[in-house]
Amino acid sequence: MVQKRDYPRTYRQQMLDTDLVSYGIVQGESDLFIKTSRPLVSKAYHLLTSYRRDIEAYGAAHPLFLKTHRPYADEGDLPDIVAAMIQASQLAHVGPMASVAGALAEFVGRGLAIHSEDVIIENGGDDFIASKKPRIVGTFSGTSTFSQNVFISVPPVRSLGICTSSGNIGHSFSYGRADAATVIAPSATLADAAATAVCNAVRTKDDIERGLAVARSIPGLTAAIVIAEDDMGIWGSLKVGTSEQDNALVFSLKI
């Protein structure tokens, strides 16, 4: 397996939603960057602690849940976040832990949305968005030509996941080599699992259409962007927009 590269999260400094308060919380492997209308640090930390505890306790009792790269099934009395991860696993045909970052962003975000109309959470390239106004989300694809030049214009939404998997960046396991496979769905849990599945299908830029075909096959997705080397493909409810920045591509999301 090719060694993946980690990059410092300097992109967080470019998230310029000046109407919101920014802060971060870290617990174990989870490193959440959060934007809300007012500081909710203690609530966010409590939510993250609770949901991580649910996952860890279930995983301790069911070790296969933490290890398998295949769809996982359990119809017992499950914690909500575990049930969502299992459902995403079955829809995207990947292991349940493929969705853990998106699931934590989504479930913490839902909890904060009770106290703030606007919530944006980024967790290692996986985003949960609830916003009463339009937002711009950028993508990062390492050394690709398109890195930090592709943006998604998001309309007001109550719940949206924009999640990216890469075969070349970060510590998460991947069978693929896409520079970035970005998936958009109402659920960040599903978007994260699906991004893993799409990335797994892309070994070279010749596999971009194969990756998009995987996205089309997964129920519940809104759109996908696949970047490999100097090529890019898109599928779903995205239209090319305009940008004042040279070389920037802005896709408008239609929901």
Contact 95, 88 (CB under 8 A): no
- pLDDT, one tens digit per residue, over 197-227 is 999 999 999 999 999 999 999 999 999 999 9
- pLDDT, one tens digit per residue, over 33-65 is 999 999 999 999 999 999 999 999 999 999 999
Segment 113-127 mean pLDDT: 96
What does the pLDDT read at residue 176? Answer: 73
Give the type of residue at 191.
A
What does the pLDDT read at residue 5? Answer: 46
Segment 176-184 mean pLDDT: 90
How far CA 146 is from CA of 104, 143, 199, 247, in Å, comes to 28, 8, 16, 9
Q: How would you class 172 by CB atoms within 10 Å of its CB: exposed for 0-12, middle for 13-18, buried for 19 or more?
A: buried
What does the pLDDT read at residue 249? Answer: 85
Number of H helices, E strands in the chain: 6, 12
DSSP 227: E
- pLDDT, one tens digit per residue, over 9-42 is 545 455 556 799 999 999 999 999 999 999 999 9
Round to whole Å and give the CA distance between 34 and 66.
Answer: 26
Residue 71 tokens, joined: 């769809």
> End-to-end alpha-carbon separation of the chain, Å?
38
Tokens 């759109």 sit on residue: 223
Q: Check pLDDT > 50 for residue 4.
A: no
- pLDDT, one tens digit per residue, over 91-101 is 999 999 999 99
Q: What is the mean pLDDT of the chain?
A: 90
Residue 223 tokens, joined: 């759109």
DSSP 14: G
Residue 132 tokens, joined: 């009463």
Residue 18 tokens, joined: 């000046």
Q: How confident is the model at residue 135 (pLDDT cuts 50, 70, 90)?
A: very high
Segment 156-177 mean pLDDT: 82
Domains and CATH numbers, the chain: 18-253 (3.10.520.10)
Higher pLDDT among residues 173 and 253, named by residue: 253
Q: Check pLDDT > 90 for residue 88.
A: yes
